[in-house]
């Protein structure tokens, strides 16, 4: 591997409170790729781009900048495993870079709590730094090819949009996550409305649960109809949506119809790198992943 890369690790709210198993998979897999994570001490909520920003944009910007300032103080770029947090940081950086007066306003606020901020740190997604290593390099590290495993890839909205503020190739049909899935030996399958929202973001899950669940149900049905073994995500909030939505739908209809495993990318990659399921938190899912493990481990 190349020289070790270090980042300030921003957990966000959902992952440590609801899915420490996903956090564990990130912490055990990234060091195997030469990536070192340093906990971002004193971090707060990002805060959520589709909620807080809608009520008070200056508050949203100040809080986001405070988290970025903590990473800047540590001398590291910030990295997160949540699409919403990623979107907040990318967009907050854009605001202060494009509008110097806004940066001055933020600096004044942060100065009152003893933080200097120059907006020099960058914000990255975990999948971004893995993709920078490259699918070909990932293939070289695989010791347990996931041959025969059919994966329905879910990118998530904030990972991709607004595209002008994202590092990915400008296209309506990105492939970078599919490439990383296939680097493990698994197959990224085609399925209807692949780029449809999970239904949770923008405050929808919090304000209109039936609509939120209906969107998730449509996406799940499409993946199931395409005979996916699992739906894969790179966002703790998308993960929450797909797992809890299945539990809620099953309760509503009175049968266990929806049992599609929901897997985070570092869990999939960890299996391909030879790690054991317990090390990757795969024994702590709301929807059992035993069908996936039986296919991978025999």
Q: What is the pLDDT of residues 252-293, one digit of tens each?
A: 999 999 999 999 999 999 999 999 999 999 999 999 999 999
User: What is the per-residue pLDDT for 190?
Assistant: 97
135-297 and 5-125 share a CATH fold: no
Tell whether the model's pLDDT for residue 233 goes beyond 90.
yes
Phi/psi at 2 (5° precision): -80, 180
pLDDT at 1: 46
The whole-number pLDDT of residue 120 equals 96
DSSP helix/strand/coil, 111: helix
DSSP 152: E
Mean pLDDT of the chain: 95
pLDDT tens by residue, 181-208: 999 999 999 999 999 999 987 778 877 8
3 state DSSP class of 151:
strand
Domain 5-125 -> CATH class: mainly alpha
Spatial CB neighbours of 171, under 8 Å, sequence gap ≥ 6: none
- The pLDDT tens digits for 25-67 are 999 999 999 999 999 999 999 998 777 888 899 999 999 999 9
**How many CB atoms are closer than 10 A to CB 255?**
9
From 147, 100, 124, select the one nearest 271 (Cα to Cα): 147
CATH number of 135-297: 3.40.50.11810
pLDDT tens digits, residue range 144-176?
Answer: 999 999 999 999 999 999 999 999 999 989 999
Compute the CA torsion angle 197, 203, 208, 210 (nearest 10 deg): 30
- Ordered by start, the domain boundaries in the chain are 5-125, 135-297
pLDDT tens by residue, 107-134:
999 999 999 999 999 999 999 999 999 9
**pTM value?**
0.96
Q: DSSP letter at 4?
A: P
């Amino acid at each position: 591997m190349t020289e070790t890369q270090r980042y300030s690790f921003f957990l966000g709210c959902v992952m440590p409170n609801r899915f420490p198993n996903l956090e564990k998979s990130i912490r055990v897999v990234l060091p195997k790729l030469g990536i070192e994570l340093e906990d971002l001490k004193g971090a707060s909520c990002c805060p959520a781009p589709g909620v807080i920003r809608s009520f008070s944009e200056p508050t949203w910007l100040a809080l986001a900048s405070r988290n970025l300032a903590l990473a800047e103080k540590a001398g590291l770029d910030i990295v997160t495993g949540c699409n919403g947090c990623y979107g907040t940081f990318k967009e907050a950086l854009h605001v202060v870079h494009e509008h110097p007066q806004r940066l001055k306003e933020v600096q004044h606020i942060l100065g009152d709590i003893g933080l200097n901020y120059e907006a020099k740190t960058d914000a990255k997604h975990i999948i971004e730094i893995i993709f920078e290593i490259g699918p070909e390099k990932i293939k070289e590290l695989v010791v347990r090819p996931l041959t025969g495993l059919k994966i329905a890839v879910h990118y998530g909205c904030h990972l991709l949009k607004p595209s002008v503020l994202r590092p990915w190739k400008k296209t309506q049909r990105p492939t970078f996550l599919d490439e990383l899935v296939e680097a493990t030996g698994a197959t990224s399958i085609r399925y209807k409305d692949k780029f449809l929202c999970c239904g949770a973001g923008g405050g929808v899950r919090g304000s209109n649960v039936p609509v939120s669940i209906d969107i998730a149900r449509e996406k799940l049905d499409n993946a199931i109809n395409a005979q996916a073994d699992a739906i894969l995500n790179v966002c703790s909030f998308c993960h929450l949506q797909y797992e809890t939505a299945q539990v809620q739908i099953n309760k509503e209809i009175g049968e266990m119809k929806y049992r599609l495993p929901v897997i985070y990318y570092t869990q999939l990659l960890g299996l391909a790198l030879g790690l054991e399921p317990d090390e990757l938190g795969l024994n702590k899912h709301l929807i059992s992943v035993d069908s996936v493990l039986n296919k991978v481990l025999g």
